[in-house]
Each structure stands twice: as structure tokens, then as C-alpha cells.
Structure 1
Amino acid sequence: MLKSKRPTVPQARRMKRTRGDVAFHIANYTGAALLAFVCGYPFYYLIINSISANNVAALGDVRWLPEGIHFSNYASVFQLSGLSQAAAVSVARTVIGTACTVLASAYLGFMFTQERLWKRALWYRLVVITMYFNAGIIPVFIVMYALGLTNNFLVYILPAIVQPFNIILVKTYVESMPHELQEAAEVDGASTVQVFARIMLPNMTPILATVAIFSAVAQWNSFQDTLMYITDKSLYTLQYLLYTYINQADSLAQMAQQSGGNLGSVAAAATAQTATSIRTTVAVVVVLPILFVYPMFQRYFVKGIMLGAVKG
């Protein structure tokens, strides 16, 4: 006697779908597609305008497909005076600052879970309260000046090491981990630092990847600290340098047209170019590097942010 085959789980789900389910899925996919388009189109718009003919892009006629494709704008931008030094400063502050922030967040987040820490609640509240109260720009500048951090590379690193939000994420993540891990290590004679370095730190990868993304993006995009604390051109960051060229795009393009392109290294990017081409090319140069960071940490990001935000 032949036995009837039971439908598999995917088949059963397809059989049970109603018109309402189909409509719901269509609405979900449509909404997600529209949201992706709204988020992605500005980047696409910048890219196609940066590689299109400068005179066409200046008229605002490039909206969907590039016209007169060329890459001379990028060659000109990379010839800007001081660009390589500024890029090195930005990369250095991003790498060093992110590493210091991740390590400090991991250690402080772990220590705030230790009940035997003296005045643990007090120290934790003092860290968290800084999320809500700020002294203001002038008092902060006075402090930085008194500490000798103006015109100092460390001004990019030290103020950003302790981030209360990151510490809260790590603390909540550590509290969600089995406490037996630490107890077993302590029974074997491990100290608190050894427990952190050998037991906890290797198991914090998801939340630390999340903290690394937050810190790297903040460090890479920051230019206001350069604006307030730095006057030494050798310490200019890539973002600040390109920010100044964006502001000067109109004047640089006008000077290029008047002088026939013989401006020297400072205005080399504006030679035979327009303000629009300078702005779009500079914006792409700033944005693209940090976009490559996300795919590297994507598999850890969602897990880390969820476990770090909700205990258990």
C-alpha cells in the first residue's frame, strides 16, 4: 500500500499562505526596496556626477546614468598639496583611536560587572552621567589647552577613549554571558586581569566588533576637533582638508577659469573643473573608505548590538 508523502516544511508554508500573506510580503519587499533606494541613491548620485563630464554635471543634468565618463577628477584630487599627509593622519587616528576605545570599553564594561569592585555603582554613575551633561566648547578647549593637547596628535585619541554608550553595551553583553566561566577560571587561580584577557575578551567578539564600527566611523568622519584644536598643517586630517576644499570649490573653479589652469599645487584640483566636480569627487573620496569597513564586521554587528542592548 502506497503511503502518501507529507509535504515538507517549505511546501506546507506555501500551501498555507493566504492572499493577505502575499499582500503583506509584497508590501514588505516594496517598502524595503524603497528604503534601500532612498538610502543608496545619494551615494550613487555622487559617484556618477564625479565621473561624468564636468560641464554636464555642473548643469545638474546627471541624475541616473553617467555621461562622458572620465576619471581625471580623482587624479586631480589626489594631487592636492598635503593630501597624503592628511590621509596618513586620518588613518592613524582611526586605527589607534578605535583600538584604544575598544580596549577601554571592553575592560571598563567588564569591571563594572564585578560586584567586588570598590564603589562600583558610583564609578558607573559618574561615567554614565557624562552622556547627559557637557561643559561646553569653551571650557573643553580651556582644559585641552591646559593639558597641552592643542596642536597635539593625542587630542584625536585621548578624549574619545572612554565612551559611555559603548561601555553600557559591553557591560550588558558581559552580564548576558554565563557567570560560571569566570568562576571556573578563578577556581583555577586566575586573577581578575587574567579572567578578562583569557576568558572574557575572546568571547566578546560580536560586541567589540560593534564598538569598533561605531568608533571607526566617528574617528574617520570627525573634523571639528581639528577645527578647534589644531593649527599645525601637518596634523590636519583628511576630512578637514577636504572640507576646506569643498568650501573653496567655487573660488578655486573661478580662479582656474581665469588663469587658464596655471594655479600650482594648491588649486590643482580646480584646473579645468567646476565647483560641482570638486564637491562630488571630494565627497566620494571621504565616504568610500569607511563604507568598506561595514562588510568586514557585518556578521558580528547585528548579534553584538542586540545582545549588548538587551540583557539575556
Structure 2
Amino acid sequence: MFAIKRKTKGEAIFDIINNFGMLCICFLTLYPIWYVLVNAFNNGNDAMLGGIYWWPRMFTLENFKAVFASPGIMQAMWITVAKTAIGTVAHVLFTAMVAYAYSRKGLIGGKFYILLGTITMIFSGGLIPGFLLIRNLHMLDNFLVYIIPFMFSFFDLIIFMTFFREIPEGLEEAARIDGANDWSIFLRVVLPVSMPVIATIALFHGVFQWNDYFTGMIYINNENLQPIQTYLFRVVAQSSSNQMMVAVQGSAINRTVTSQSIKLATMVVTTLPIVFVYPFLQRYFVKGMMIGSIKG
């Protein structure tokens, strides 16, 4: 039988203070989200009176009906879903492919390439040269501006490369004996055993693609190509949300909906999808974050 070690008085006090501090941090982190959610489900005119902190005082779904009644926001949502899905897949595959080449010991000039990549992590060309480059590549008002410029990240390459170097060489040697070439080894051997790092990078880049509003604001003038975050940014930046209120003018909804309530409902609509994805990737994400920290 193992003896149970009793905590000293100092350790017990430390645990109490530590737990209390963590609860405070959790509350400060989660309450703003809860506040937005509560007010999004409350009557807009009633919410203007204030005093709503924990539960909706006049529960309603009219705010969300107004959000989905706007054709502009639904188009923006589809653009966001498409760019997140396509952009994440393209980023993971392309970055993993380059990282696999970097991880090979026989790569000629490998150290030089790593040096060049490290420099790009420290210095960038800037916004104006980037805009001129995108314009010269004819990607202004083009859906590809969400995909091609973000297909590669040297920071993600380092994570991939570290993982690939820990894969036993015997797997590749066995595949080569069976007649597999480099493409077959990468697609059929390396990628299937790399799910932890793939899920980690996919989560990182997927969240970036979903939350990115700056690309649409700088490079897109066509409203049909705006992502939801750019659409929301422009609505919130205006003192009155005319873009969204036009969709419900003259309807019964308009009597219980305000511009502020629509903003809050839009925030909920744009945030919840990416939040729901995280639990499905969490088990891979936790393992992926340990890449390179433990050998063997």
C-alpha cells in the first residue's frame, strides 16, 4: 500500500490561492463571451435599457433572423467557409511538402534555405510592396488572394520539419524496397503518420483564415467576395449598421431589432463555428504541441 502524502499548511494555502486565481482568469476570459451571447438573444430595444448581465431579460430569436435575412452576410459566410476550407488544405499540403524536402539529410543547400526562411520570419517587405505584388499578379478582387499568398509559412515549416525528422527511417526504407518513389512515400507513409502535426497546423491556419478580415479589406472591393469578418468589421466600424438594417426595413422584425443587437448576433454567428471545430482537433492539438520537446 502506498502512503498518502498529506499536504503541508503552506502547500494547501498555495493550492487555494492558485485555484482562486485560475478561476478569476477563467471568469475574466469567458464572461465577455457570455455577455455577448446573452445580449444577442435579448430583445434589442430592451437591451438598450441596460442591466442585462447573466440571462436574457426578453428572450428572442429576431436578431438572428435579421442576420440571416441579409443576403450580403450569407454570401460573406459562404466565402469565409470556402476560403477557410480550401486555404487550410492548400496550406497544410504545400507547407508539409516543402518541409518534407527540408527534413531530408541529402538536400543540397539545405542550411542556406533554412537561413533564407529564417530571415523572412524577421523581416517582411511591408504593406505597400505586398499590395503592388498582389496587383501585378492580377489577384485584386480575386478569390485566389485568400489562398495563394498564405499557402506557405516558414514557422509552420519548422514544426513540420521537426516532426518529420523524428519519423523512423525504417518506414521510408521499407517503402523504397517495395518500389515507392518520393511522392508515394510522402503521400502514403509520411502524411498518414503525421496526423498530430497536421491537425495542429490545420487548427492554427484554419483559425487564421476564419478570423482574417485584413485581406478582404485591403485587396477586395467586390462585396460578393468579402468574407464574414471583413463584412462584420465594416458594419461595426459604422455608427449605424445600414448594411444589415436594409434587409429588415419595413418588417415586423425591425420593431424589436437594433443595430447593436444585430452586431452582437453577427459576432455569435461568426464565432461559434470555429469554436465547435476545436474539440474535434483537441486530442491531436495537445500531442502536436509537444513536438520536439520529448525525444523517444
Q: 2:7 aligns with which of 7, 10, 17?
A: 17
Return the alpha-carbon distance in structure 2 between the equivalents of residues 73 and 268 of structure 1.
Answer: 15
TM-score (norm 2): 0.90
CA distance in 2, matches of 1:75, 1:101: 35
- AA at the equivalent of 1:174: F
Per the alignment, residue 103 of structure 2 pairs with 113
* Equivalent of residue 81 in structure 2, options 91, 98, 101: 91
Between the aligned residues of both structures, percent identity stands at 35
Q: Is the 8 A contact 1:246 1:278 kept in 2?
A: no
- Give the corresponding residue for 1:300: 284
User: Offset at 1:60?
Assistant: 3.2
Shift, 1:311, TM fit? 6.2
Give the partner amino acid of 1:77. V
Tell me the equivalent position of 1:265.
247
2:293 corresponding residue in structure 1: 310
Structure 1 length as normaliser, TM-score?
A: 0.86
Contact 1:249/1:278, CA 8 A, preserved across alignment: no
Greater alpha carbon shift after TM alignment, 144-153 vs 80-89 = 80-89
- Root-mean-square deviation (CA, aligned residues, Å) is 2.3
Maintained 8 Å contact 2:141/2:221: yes
Deviates more, 1:190-199 or 1:216-225: 190-199
Q: More deviation in 279-288 or 142-151?
A: 279-288
Task: Indicate whether 1:145 and 2:171 are aligned.
Answer: no
The answer as to whether partners of 2:66 and 2:248 remain within 8 angstroms in 1 is no
Q: What does residue range 161-310 of structure 1 map to in structure 2 within 5 Å?
A: 161-248=151-238, 250=240, 252=242, 264-265=246-247, 271-272=254-255, 273-307=257-291, 309-310=292-293
Q: Residue 82 of structure 1: SS of its match in structure 2?
A: helix
Change (3 A) 1:131 1:311: farther
Structure 1 residue identity aligned to 2:247: S
| C-alpha distance in 1 between matches for 2:207 and 2:147 | 14
Question: Between Structure 1 and Structure 2, whose CA radius of gyration is higher?
Answer: 1
User: Tell me, what secondary structure is at the counterpart of 1:16?
Assistant: coil
Change (3 A) 1:124 1:283: same
Tell me, yes or no, if the aligned pair for 1:98 and 1:216 is still in contact at 8 Å.
Answer: yes
Q: 1:49 to 1:35 in 2, by over 3 A?
A: same
Q: CA deviation at 1:293?
A: 1.2
User: Aligned residue pairs: how many?
Assistant: 293
In structure 2, C-alpha distance between the alignment counterparts of 1:192 and 1:115, rounded to whole Å: 14
Could you tell me which residue of structure 2 aligns to residue 260 of structure 1? none
Higher mean C-alpha displacement, 227-236 vs 214-223: 227-236
Q: Residues 184 and 28 of structure 1: is their aligned pair in 2 closer, same or farther, counting only changes over 3 Å?
A: farther
Match of 2:62 in 1: 72
Moved more, 96-105 or 242-251: 242-251
Indicate conservation of the 8 Å contact 2:64/2:262, yes or no: no
How far residue 23 of structure 1 moved from its aligned partner, in angstroms, is: 2.9
Partners of 1:56 and 1:62 within 8 A in 2: no
